[in-house]
Structure 1
Amino acid sequence: MIDQGVTAALAAHDATRNGDDSHTSRTGVRRTERVARECTYQDFMKYQPVYFKGTKGVVELTQWFERMETVFHISNCFMDNQIKFSTCTLLADALTWWNSHVRIVGQDVVYAMTWTDLRKKMTDKYYLRNKIKKLKVKLWNLKVKGTDVTRYNQQFQDLALLCVRMFPEESEKVERYVGGLPDMIQGSVVASKPKAMQEATEMASELMDKKINTVVERHAENKRMFENTSRNNQNQQRQENKRQNTGRAYTAGSGDKKLYAGSKPLCPKCNYNHNGLCTPKCYKCNKFGHLGQNCRSFECVNPGSNQRGNGTGQGPTCFECGVRDTSRRTAQN
């Protein structure tokens, strides 16, 4: 009886110590039991869930679903509070619709719903068939604009998420994605045989970046070549103009006479272009039209003339023009 009483006391003591996060009686290992703390509404809102107005259709609704499920996970929100907390983010038309539904079925019924039930009800409300059909057509005709593969990836993933039933298999989605890529990278992506969307998008982005870098480098090289060619042409033109200006200056400085452009022959006697005999020139006054013996000028304009008497008493004679100086004879008389 004593042994049974001691055994029972030890068992009770061990049970009490295990509940107090202590060591076990036999193994000596510390046993920790963590109890998850209940998520409050303030804890839930700290993770910034998005709001839903119901004005942008299926795209807005899909984004709201994804963000809400992420907040549920990281905030450790219990299933009993998921409907209460998530419906607090409804605004505008979506809030009006939800309040009407609550008045019809009652709060006990709506808050007893699961998150799956709420998703289905809101999908039936905002996933209109005609809009889904338009989105499917848009997804099927979606292609890369220019070289913006990043935007194409985002649009394709958003539309594929909305049109889940359009691609039952991952391979079908990859095939449609590759079909919208430009020809410059489509063949390389097909050759790599991607099996998942992530692999296909990463390959397409990497190939497009390489193509863009190649085009940029080629453009820069062509620009440098064009600038060098233009600079060389300018230097050649500048040197040619300099040579022409030098030739003009040399021609202008070598003689004051302008070249004769007429049809009259050059006279070897007077070195002028004319027809017939030379026009007579007076050696006394250096004028054309008369000879020295008929000159009426009283003084000889040739300062270099060597004057001397001829012994006749009639005055010296200019050896250049042949005219006697009669003024000296008059003075002697």
Structure 2
Amino acid sequence: MAAVLPGVITQIHQIYNNNAQCNFKTFNSAKPLKFSGSEGATALLQWFESIESTFRHIQCPNERKVDFASSVFQRRALTWWNGIMRDRGVKVAMELTWEEFKDLMKKEFCPRSEIRALENEFYHLKQDSGENRAYTDRFEQLSLLCPTMVTPLDRAIEKYIDGLPNHVQDIVTGSQPATLRETKELAAILTDSQVRKGKLFRQGDKRQDTESVNKNSRKSKAEPSKSSKKRKASKNFAIPAPAPLNSVPFKGFYRGKQPRCNHCNYHHASISPCRQCTLCGLFGHLAVTCRIQNQAAPTQTRPRACFNCGDLNHFKRNCPKLANANGRAFNINEAQTNDQALMII
């Protein structure tokens, strides 16, 4: 007894000191993560990891984990926990083990509809090229939320290998790893090797930069820029070809100095706009001289008059003034003829 008693006293003092050190003040000084119960299954899993890390940091005893964890509940989670203590009693609720407490929270804050969505995501989970770290982290999260899909261990190893890229998957399968940890380490090593060889890529690698450059080049070819449009507009006018020296210009041949416009096919200065009719839409004339407008406009009938005197009552062929003038001319010609005949006689 004399030999055993000092050791027992020492253990009692250690337990008492630990309990004295681990109190609400120590727990709150570690700034534990709050939980409201409305964030979903993934947030619940992250809260479990955070609060367990806090327990390890403050060396919290198992019998006080439920008491400390429930002290950070807010809103919906606090209402749910108050209902549990009311139904079961405060003493019974506080005597729950940490694992029983986690099971109750999973049943409440992980509804079956959300679990089914997570199981569907877990079933189609694949590694995105060289992003092995992100794939492994999501695999571990879904493994905790959907434990039936990774039980037993052989099924978990098989599920992890199925999500790897094909060339990595074949090598890992051929190595036949015994544990899930060995499988993850081997997959990480092979993924890094494939990334260095350029067969797999991570976010921010050169492949994405080259793809973006190629995409921009294809876009620039498909859609010409404003500068190219300006260059095309500046080349709109063609230089008129000089006419041959010995050639005779045909009707309508342009012999001026203005260049020919490729847009309207007429010659005008490059700084002046094309002459386009606003009525018919044709080039070469304006709306003032549009023939289509003149044809469409109603014809105005003017009164017909004599072209000689302007009288409206007769035409030129019946003009009396013109008839009198013709008579006088005839009489004069006849008199001249008679005079010439007498002189001959």
Structure-1-length-normalised TM-score: 0.52
Change (3 A) 1:207 1:97: same
Equivalent-residue separation in structure 1 for 2:115 and 2:61 (angstroms): 32
Given that residues 150 and 159 in structure 2 are in contact (C-alpha distance below 8 angstroms), is that contact kept between their aligned partners in structure 1?
no
Q: Which residue of 2 aligns with 1:143?
A: 126
Given that residues 42 and 141 in structure 2 are in contact (C-alpha distance below 8 angstroms), is that contact kept between their aligned partners in structure 1?
yes
What does 1:179-218 correspond to in 2, within 5 Å?
179-215=162-198
Q: Which residue of 2 aligns with 1:175?
A: 158
Residue by residue over 1:155-201, the C-alpha shift from the partner in whole angstroms, topping out at 9 and shown as x without a partner, is 11111111112222111111111111112311111121112221111
Given that residues 168 and 191 in structure 2 are in contact (C-alpha distance below 8 angstroms), is that contact kept between their aligned partners in structure 1?
yes
The alpha-carbon deviation at position 85 of structure 1 amounts to 1.0
Residue by residue over 1:91-117, the C-alpha shift from the partner in whole angstroms, topping out at 9 and shown as x without a partner, is 232123223444455433432333233
Does the alignment pair 1:116 with 2:99? yes
Between structure 1 and structure 2, the one with the greater Rg is 1
3-state SS, counterpart of residue 50 of structure 1: coil
Q: RMSD of the alignment, in Å?
A: 3.0
Identical amino acids, percent of aligned pairs: 28
Q: Which residue of 1 aligns with 2:137?
A: 154
Equivalent-residue separation in structure 2 for 1:105 and 1:172 (angstroms): 38
Change (3 A) 1:18 1:95: closer
Change (3 A) 1:196 1:141: same
Amino acid at match of 1:192: S
Aligned length: 196
Find the partner of 1:68 among 51, 72, 80.
51
Equivalent-residue separation in structure 1 for 2:48 and 2:142 (angstroms): 15
Amino acid at match of 1:138: E
What does 1:60-139 correspond to in 2, within 5 Å?
60-139=43-122
Name structure 2 gaps, 5 residues minimum. Answer: 200-204, 207-345
Structure-2-length-normalised TM-score: 0.50
Change (3 A) 1:133 1:18: closer
Q: Which residue of 2 aligns with 1:35?
A: 14
Equivalent-residue separation in structure 2 for 1:175 and 1:20 (angstroms): 50
Equivalent-residue separation in structure 2 for 1:119 and 1:103 (angstroms): 19
Flag the structure with more relative contact order, 1 or 2, with Cα contacts below 8 A and sequence separation at least 6: 2
3-state SS, counterpart of residue 65 of structure 1: helix
Residue by residue over 1:132-177, the C-alpha shift from the partner in whole angstroms, topping out at 9 and shown as x without a partner, is 1221111111111122111111111111111112222111111111
